[in-house]
Amino acid sequence: MSERAQRKLVAIVAADIAGYSRLIGMDEEGTLRDLRAHRAELIDPLFSEHGGRIANTAGDSLLLEFASVVDAVRCVLAMQCGMAERNTEIDQDKQILFRVGINVGDVVAEGNDLLGDGVNIAARVESLAKPGGMAISDDAYRQVRDRLDISWSDGGEYEVKNIARPVKVWRWAPDEPHKDAVAEADEQPLSLPDKPSIAVLPFDNMSGDPEQEYFADGITEDIITSMSKVSSLFVIARNSTFTFKGKPVKVQDVGRDLGVRYVLEGSVRKAGSRVRVTAQLVDALNGQHLWAERYDRDLDDIFSLQDELSLKIVTSAAVRLSEQDSHRLMQRNTDNVDAYDHLLRGRDHLLRHTPEANALALDHFERAAALDPGYAAPYVHLAETHLQQMQLGWSPDPTDQLAHALECVKRAIAVDDEYAPAHGVLGQIYLWRKDYERAVIEGECRVALNPGDAEGIATLAMTLVFAGEPERALDAMARAMRLDPQYPFWHLHVVGLCHFALERYDDAIAAFQRCIVRNPDSMPPHMVLAAAAALVGDMQTATSELAESKRLNPDLSLTFVSEQIPYRRAEDIDRLVAGLKKAGLKE
């Protein structure tokens, strides 16, 4: 490290102007003049008053450091409230609105500039803030939550490039309720299902090696997947149970939050060719331990161990297994431990949703398939990886990527036509090819083979709404969201699409707004919200949401919408195009 470079722990503030390119394009001189006035009269004096130092500036962005995160948040709060007042008399499309992100972290100071992961996280957190609001990392939140009288909304967890673990985000904005909009809507306690119900918490990695985290997570996921095949058992989805990962929890709280009777906890220790798994089943109503077991096995016995665990759980929960349920529960995909290990590593990378991680996932899935050509799961995950690359725009040739996905999933079904995820992925491929009848059939096949699979049910719902069956899709979404109470943001998007197709525009608007609280960086909910708002005459919302859609996808046009959105019914695409045209979208 050079003499001019030093490490230090600071509060980092990253800020940029929402829609800066649009503002400059409309009125360059006026925008720059207004920005200089805002800086001189409000922003810079507040930085000085609260002990902030500008480390870097690039026209539409600022990077600052503060010795105290409390001072940083106070400064940003005063700045955003002051900007809201200054924008009161300005037309909405000309307002200068800052997004601000705050993180506490170790940085490298080189001269006046700041470098390092702490800065990268602040920049990512800033991108998740609403225009006019702020977002802070969990590290920053822990230091301010009991010191400042501010109510924060839980913004969820997000992947950050080159950062090993997801970053949890908390949000504040002056124009929205302080309480998380999703929590507000879902605050009613969940009643117990009419059949035995269970949540499987993430098994702790006890190996002492963080690199083995994928293995403990994989064991947990496979137990959840196995038990969700049993039609007489209600199993909470992985997405919801993994929100408790790494947190100290009370079993009774888990049972109440997820609406289940039983909770399974456990740990995994993998060392060389040996593995130790501990598990205990607890009655969440009274906290009573029903059983606890420890299994010390050779790694080659991991599959038999999973079978034993699954049977022990269903027996303890007094589940009556039909012959079909027993068959599904004991289905074995591979006996090759190395192939299984590559599958788990690949799944871990696939969940990171980055181009680099996708490339690593492909490599692991290809290795798994080569080690056991009769193993269906690697082929399905290869297809999912190709689909993800296509859907997220990481492929130079989407048609070719879709063809690769189809080839992989057909190989999976040829190996095992009862492997439920294969039919679900095949249904998604048919949907993108606008083969609606086969898309629905394959989606229904996935649900029939794995009736407790929340993701499969939600994916079927998405297929149904595009295939012109929004009422059926709504019913399916209600089932999926009960199985996954901490459902991902895209579930709300599907609900919004259902209401939009049924011309229930107020309900659609509410669903899209809740979706955007969960993930402000997803373009589709902004786009359909703009159309719905325009159709009810709320042009202010329509204009701002269309601008946000264009920010997230500069190529968005009426032609793009007409050609790319896979609606089966002409009236559905016509409704969307009409709303977007009214909102101001051009050909």
Give yes or no for a contact between 169 and 150, defined as CB atoms under 8 angstroms apart. no
Predicted confidence at residue 159, as pLDDT, reads 62
The residue ranking higher by pLDDT, 181 or 250, is 250
Determine if the pTM surpasses 0.75: no
Identify which of 82-86, 152-156, 212-216, 227-231 has the greatest average pLDDT.
Answer: 82-86
- Identify the pLDDT of residue 558: 92
Q: Which of 167-171, 262-266, 535-539 is the least confident region?
A: 167-171
pLDDT at position 199, please?
A: 93
Query: pLDDT over 90 for what percent of the chain?
Result: 35
Model confidence over 468-491: pLDDT tens digits? 999 999 999 999 999 999 888 889
More confident residue, 347 or 165: 347
pLDDT at 288 over 90: no
Q: Where are the beta strands (DSSP E) in 48-193?
A: 53-57, 61-66, 98-110, 113-115, 134-137, 153-158, 167-172
Q: Which residue is associated with the tokens 């501010």?
A: 150
Assess contact for 458 and 485: CB atoms under 8 A.
Answer: no
Look up residue 234 and give its amino acid: F
The confidence band for 182, taking pLDDT boundaries of 50, 70 and 90, is very low
18 pLDDT higher than 50: yes
Name the average pLDDT for the chain: 85
149 contact partners, CB below 8 Å, separation of at least 6:
none
Q: Of the ranges 105-119, 139-153, 474-488, which is most confident? A: 474-488
Residue 234's DSSP bridge partners are: 197
| Coil, strand or helix at 154 | strand
Question: pLDDT at residue 102 above 50?
Answer: yes
pLDDT for 337: 85
At residue 58, the pLDDT reads 66
Tell me the backbone φ, ψ of residue 285, rounded to 5 degrees.
-75, -35
Cα angle value 571/572/578 (rounded, 5°): 80
- pLDDT of 2 above 60: no
pLDDT of 255 strictly over 80: yes
> Higher-confidence residue: 320 or 519?
519
Mean pLDDT computed over 190-196:
84
The average pLDDT across 262-270 equals 90
The full set of domains in the chain, from first to last, is: 5-179 (3.30.70.1230), 197-332 (3.40.50.10610), 488-587 (1.25.40.10)
Mean pLDDT check: name the lowest of 152-161, 165-174, 351-360, 380-389. Answer: 152-161
> Distance between CA atoms of 134 and 127, rounded to whole angstroms?
9
Q: Would the pLDDT of 177 be above 80?
A: no
Give the other-Cβ count within 10 Å of 471's Cβ. 12
Angle, in degrees to the nearest 10, between helices 570-583 and 489-501: 100
Higher pLDDT, 353 or 120: 120
142 pLDDT tier (thresholds 50, 70, 90): confident
Mean pLDDT of 291-311: 83
Percent of the chain at pLDDT exceeding 70:
90
Taking residues 264-279, report their average pLDDT: 88
* Paired strand residues for 99: 16
The model's pLDDT over 305-335, given as tens digits with 9 standing for 90+, comes to 877 888 888 777 767 766 766 666 666 678 8
Listed in sequence order, the residues at least 6 apart from 28 whose beta carbon sits closer than 8 Å to its beta carbon are none
Residue 580 identity (one-letter amino acid): L
